[in-house]
Structure 1
Amino acid sequence: MPKELPGFYYDAEKNRYFPYKGPIPGSSLKPLSIPSPSHPKQADGLCQSIKIRQQQLLQARELFGNVISSHKRKLSFRAEYEKRHASQPSIWKYRGTKKMANIALEHVVADITSPHGLLERDILLSGGVNGLLCLFQVGKTRQEVDPVQIYKGDHVWPLNVYQTPRQKKLLRELGSSYGAMTYMTSDVSCIKSSRKSPVPTNDVMPNYYLITTLGSDSAPGSVYLLDLSKPLDFDASVPIARDRFHEVAAFKQTLWTADCDPEGKRAAIGTNRGVVLLNMETRVSSWVLHSKSDVLSVQLDQSGTSILCGLRNGAIMNIDTRQRQIKRSGHSSSAVSMPSSICCLASLKLWDRYFLASSMDGSIKLYDHRLTQRGPVQSYEGNVNSHTRIALGIDPSEKVVMSGGEDCYIRLWNIKSGELLFKDRFMNSIPSAVCWPRIGGLLELTKDGQDHRCYWQDHGLGAWLGSYEGIFYMDWL
């Protein structure tokens, strides 16, 4: 009887051994590379990995486990699945929302009154042209937002039903009322939650939202708190915001942006003369940065002691609020420079050592606070901008960053690799406002003790987009 050899079989007629044609259990043969897809070529710049067909991806997982090979490199099945998922959103446009949300968007959770009693609902706060501030009810069904005015949603992407296996049913109904709209003294420049900490506290501002106005020749730049701790009544004839606005401070300067510390006790206000630190309880303000260059974006860290400032001259400065500040030009030795004016700064919450920065030349970079002088650790190519302030959106799992462009395209990149996951145009105006509710990400603890954020598989809300053309909603089923 011939001796058995692993991976070979014996042919008695030819009196020799032959190798098995396929992989066998326990063999260490190199996995086969996944062939290139035969479907039509996608947009230029999209990462090669998301072009892998779903059937081939599943087949590779069955054959080789969680690690697969493609284009002479090893890939994680889970990571590739999430990239594919991110590249296939469904998008709706809401009729009648023109000019309502091209400046700012913020997701809110508040109680509303209804014939069935008090109900907790998702609320969308938006800032539009001429100081317009709107509150919208968000519901999974039309019954959840009745009897207020309904804004019908039209499916705008993908237009070809064969491009995606998912349904086109509207996932979020949007409703409002006449009393849920008000005009501020000047254009709204920023809307932020006054408390970013997910841990409940007994503070005096449990559900307040910070709203700043730009200021004008006839009105100062103002800082307001919007009180949503009391139930909202969308059926009332009296404007909802009339008794809910509290003016905290007013300044002669132009107020470009703002951010709050996790407890909501202090706010950093970016102006055309520097940065003001405002105590929300005592209403006492102090200048922590004097600058000749406008501060267009600010981010308070989780400790509330450090302020990241993005200036019009392209400088990014880190200010320690515990130290006595002097007048700065924006070109100090500790500053990082980008090629053009800073559009947006966005700190990562799960990885608090990192922050994203975008500038008005279209650049988007990822920086490490510890290594800022060495330059960015990642870049995201392809965005188009020359002079417009455009917000960045980050998904709750902090794996994807989104930005609009002056070419009216929306782009999504993988934060870690910098790969372009999605690029398409479905509107005729610049998508300048983005709100991707960052509740903290859903965590899934596996047997190996590692946490896997599974936002793409199970999530509550998608991303809201605002442009001059109206409000758009992106979701992934």
Structure 2
Amino acid sequence: MPPKELPGFYYDPEKNRYFPIRGPIPGAAARRGTPAPPPAVDTTGCSRKRARRPELLNAREMYGGGVMFSNKAARSTFKQQCHYAQASQPMVWKYQATTSVADKALEQLDAMVQTPQGLKESRLLVSGSMNGSIRLYGLGTALSNFENEAEFLPQPACTLVGKHKPGPLPSIWSPGTGFIAFSSSISCIKKLGRHVPDASNTNSSVQRALVATLGSGESRASLYIMDLSEAVDLAIGPWTTYRVHSLDRTMWTADCSSDGTHAAFGSDLGAGLIDLETRGSSWLCRSKSDILSLKFVHSGKVVLCGLRNGSIAPVDVRQKQHNQPTGVASSSNARRTVPMLPTRHGGKQRNQASKDKFSRVISMSSAVCSLVSLSSDENYFLGSSMDGSIKLFDLRLIQKGGIQSYEGHVNSHTLLPLAVDPSETLLMSGGEDCTVRIWSIKTGELIFARSMGDSPFTSSCWPESSHGLCSPWLFDVNHSWGAWLGSRAGLFYMHGT
């Protein structure tokens, strides 16, 4: 008689006994008779094969929650597969009457807002535009009680075929005084410092932001601190903003250290470092090629500088030399000087001395327009260039170039940012073809790609989830993840199911 089938076991005729069905051991050959993982479902618009949630749950029960396999045979955990499934079928909303309010920068902060009914905790979206204006939007009802508030209603911008009709997304609110104008275009808005919750304050959060302006022929480029640590009274005027540095150059970008003590900026003359406590400034590096992108690694010891000529130069902020910089920096604590570096596609080879001096410089195929450092391991960072190339780099393997590529990005001349989700599993960007794309950081697989209107996305913000705060936020309660996108066409919100 044939052997009896037992749930969770398979029969080995050679050994004449039953064995439990378990997940595959990495590096070991598959057992004879072990069933294959469940079939994947094809996705229209990208190359990734995606398993449905019931299939993922079944696979976890059958093969364990540790190792699973995608169509490229790359190992990934059950949790990562769930992230991929949630990101592959997002819903996108566009907020009406938000044209040109968020085409340069987006950031999400927390603040205590003084309302007619008293102090209320509110989550605020801060948007920056090319015309030099910054506006606050309340994500919830705390800002909906002002006399001159404006309500911005969402409407679906993208509904995937076969997807159930989503519930309504909340409106956002902005009072007439939640607005300030600067003398030149906004370059960037970045959270200033990260407050780690402790036992005495379980709801501490980031309440300050670094704001950089581009500069123009009539005004100097400047760095500002936007402080929302005190109660914000939007009924009597704008919030507290003060200048910490200015220069007679073009300021393309800026970033701040994770502890909030230092800021760095990239200009057409080089990169500078600002001590936010003493207001002292110094040059990190000098360059004849504009520094278009800049990023601190998580420890704050290294600043990654992305140049127009395609070079990425990691600069140690602790390294000091005796050379005196000339220019607008006010401090004599200068770091090493980096001249204009030729890219690898430029033709001529560097001489041996130059190779030795700048051996830690990476070259991309065109101008470096965005840099993102991974906090889970600061040796890894992502970079994108204007020709659409996106790569993952390892600071320990700089000579080998990129260790992972993300294909499909379309770009030629604009500065488009990269956004990474809080779990550092997913990478998102928008190209000049007006298409939003999401990749797996680990495997490089394209998980989602879809056109969203007729204007490219030039700003993005993928904030951390609000789960665990004392009061639920309307944007998080029904969604597995959510990210903000900005373009000339308006303000968009993309979320999972």
Q: Which category describes the TM-score, using the shorter chain as reference length?
A: 0.7 to 0.9
Q: What are the Cα deviations for residues 155-199 of structure 1, in whole angstroms up to 9, with x where unaligned?
A: 122154x32x472321x4311021111210100101112213535
For residues 433 and 412 of structure 1, the distance between their equivalents in structure 2, rounded to whole angstroms, comes to 15
For residues 245 and 179 of structure 1, the distance between their equivalents in structure 2, rounded to whole angstroms, comes to 14
Q: Which residue of 2 aligns with 1:289?
A: 285
Q: Which residue of 2 aligns with 1:223?
A: 223
Deviation at 1:258, TM superposition (A): 0.7
Provide structure 1 residue ranges, at least 5 long, that are not aligned to the other structure: 9-16, 443-455
For residues 432 and 373 of structure 2, the distance between their equivalents in structure 1, rounded to whole angstroms, comes to 23
Deviation at 1:311, TM superposition (A): 0.5
Any residues of structure 2 matched to 1:438-477 within 5 Å, and which? Answer: 438=464, 462-477=482-497
Is the alpha carbon distance of 1:25 and 1:440 closer, same or farther for their aligned partners in structure 2, counting shifts above 3 Å?
farther
Deviates more, 1:372-381 or 1:206-215: 206-215
Correspondent of 1:276 among 266, 272, 276: 272
Correspondent of 2:36 among 32, 35, 42: 32
For residues 457 and 152 of structure 1, the distance between their equivalents in structure 2, rounded to whole angstroms, comes to 19
Q: Which residue of 2 aligns with 1:303?
A: 299
Q: Which residue of 2 aligns with 1:194?
A: 192
Is the alpha carbon distance of 1:335 and 1:42 closer, same or farther for their aligned partners in structure 2, counting shifts above 3 Å?
same
Deviates more, 1:367-376 or 1:215-224: 367-376
Paired residue type of 1:198: V
Q: What are the Cα deviations for residues 28-77 of structure 1, in whole angstroms up to 9, with x where unaligned?
A: 5121353454x8x611x3312x1x34444444445444456675947644
For residues 297 and 270 of structure 1, the distance between their equivalents in structure 2, rounded to whole angstroms, comes to 7
Q: Which residue of 1 aligns with 2:167?
A: 168
C-alpha contact (below 8 Å) 1:34/1:70 kept by paired residues: no
For residues 347 and 188 of structure 1, the distance between their equivalents in structure 2, rounded to whole angstroms, comes to 22
Q: Which residue of 1 aligns with 2:308?
A: 312
Is the alpha carbon distance of 1:363 and 1:117 closer, same or farther for their aligned partners in structure 2, counting shifts above 3 Å?
same
Secondary structure of the corresponding residue to residue 313 of structure 1: coil
Deviation at 1:365, TM superposition (A): 0.7
1:257 aligns with 2:253: yes
For residues 468 and 65 of structure 1, the distance between their equivalents in structure 2, rounded to whole angstroms, comes to 47
Deviation at 1:281, TM superposition (A): 1.9
C-alpha contact (below 8 Å) 1:111/1:120 kept by paired residues: yes
Correspondent of 1:424 among 447, 450, 461: 450
Q: Which residue of 2 aligns with 1:451?
A: none
Deviates more, 1:98-107 or 1:373-382: 373-382
For residues 438 and 18 of structure 2, the distance between their equivalents in structure 1, rounded to whole angstroms, comes to 40
Any residues of structure 2 matched to 1:321-340 within 5 Å, and which? Answer: 321-323=317-319, 324=321, 325-331=335-341, 332-340=358-366
For residues 385 and 59 of structure 1, the distance between their equivalents in structure 2, rounded to whole angstroms, comes to 40
Q: Which residue of 1 aligns with 2:353?
A: none
Q: Which residue of 2 aligns with 1:393?
A: 419
Q: Which residue of 2 aligns with 1:80?
A: 81
C-alpha contact (below 8 Å) 1:224/1:249 kept by paired residues: yes
Paired residue type of 2:256: C
For residues 12 and 340 of structure 2, the distance between their equivalents in structure 1, rounded to whole angstroms, comes to 72
Is the alpha carbon distance of 1:289 and 1:36 closer, same or farther for their aligned partners in structure 2, counting shifts above 3 Å?
closer
Secondary structure of the corresponding residue to residue 156 of structure 1: strand
Deviation at 1:373, TM superposition (A): 1.5
1:151 aligns with 2:145: no
Any residues of structure 2 matched to 1:228-247 within 5 Å, and which? Answer: 228-234=228-234, 236=235, 238-241=236-239, 244-247=240-243
C-alpha contact (below 8 Å) 2:113/2:121 kept by paired residues: yes
C-alpha contact (below 8 Å) 2:193/2:258 kept by paired residues: yes
Paired residue type of 1:472: F
For residues 186 and 71 of structure 2, the distance between their equivalents in structure 1, rounded to whole angstroms, comes to 49
Q: Which residue of 2 aligns with 1:410?
A: 436
Deviation at 1:26, TM superposition (A): 2.2
Q: What is the TM-score with the length of structure 1 in the denominator?
A: 0.83
Any residues of structure 2 matched to 1:135-146 within 5 Å, and which? Answer: 135-139=136-140, 145-146=144-145
Is the alpha carbon distance of 1:128 and 1:32 closer, same or farther for their aligned partners in structure 2, counting shifts above 3 Å?
same
Paired residue type of 1:217: G
Q: Which residue of 2 aligns with 1:436?
A: 462
Q: What are the Cα deviations for residues 208-256 of structure 1, in whole angstroms up to 9, with x where unaligned?
A: 211111000000001111121122233x1x4314xx1211111001111
Deviates more, 1:176-185 or 1:393-402: 176-185
Q: What are the Cα deviations for residues 441-475 of structure 1, in whole angstroms up to 9, with x where unaligned?
A: 99xxxxxxxxxxxxx99978610000000000011
CA RMSD of aligned residues (A): 3.1
Q: Which residue of 2 aligns with 1:96?
A: 97
Q: Which residue of 2 aligns with 1:354?
A: 380
Secondary structure of the corresponding residue to residue 472 of structure 1: strand
Deviation at 1:418, TM superposition (A): 0.5
C-alpha contact (below 8 Å) 2:94/2:491 kept by paired residues: yes
1:42 aligns with 2:62: no
Secondary structure of the corresponding residue to residue 373 of structure 1: helix
Deviation at 1:134, TM superposition (A): 0.7
For residues 302 and 346 of structure 1, the distance between their equivalents in structure 2, rounded to whole angstroms, comes to 10
Q: What is the TM-score with the length of structure 2 in the denominator?
A: 0.80
Q: What are the Cα deviations for residues 86-127 of structure 1, in whole angstroms up to 9, with x where unaligned?
A: 111111100000000000001110110123321111101111
Secondary structure of the corresponding residue to residue 177 of structure 2: helix
Secondary structure of the corresponding residue to residue 285 of structure 2: strand
Deviation at 1:408, TM superposition (A): 0.2
For residues 471 and 362 of structure 1, the distance between their equivalents in structure 2, rounded to whole angstroms, comes to 23
Deviates more, 1:150-159 or 1:456-465: 456-465
Paired residue type of 2:442: K
How many residue pairs get aligned? The number is 435
Secondary structure of the corresponding residue to residue 129 of structure 1: coil
Deviation at 1:293, TM superposition (A): 0.5
Q: What are the Cα deviations for residues 386-430 of structure 1, in whole angstroms up to 9, with x where unaligned?
A: 011011111011100100000000000000011111101122101
C-alpha contact (below 8 Å) 1:396/1:440 kept by paired residues: no
Is the alpha carbon distance of 1:65 and 1:389 closer, same or farther for their aligned partners in structure 2, counting shifts above 3 Å?
same
For residues 93 and 309 of structure 2, the distance between their equivalents in structure 1, rounded to whole angstroms, comes to 37
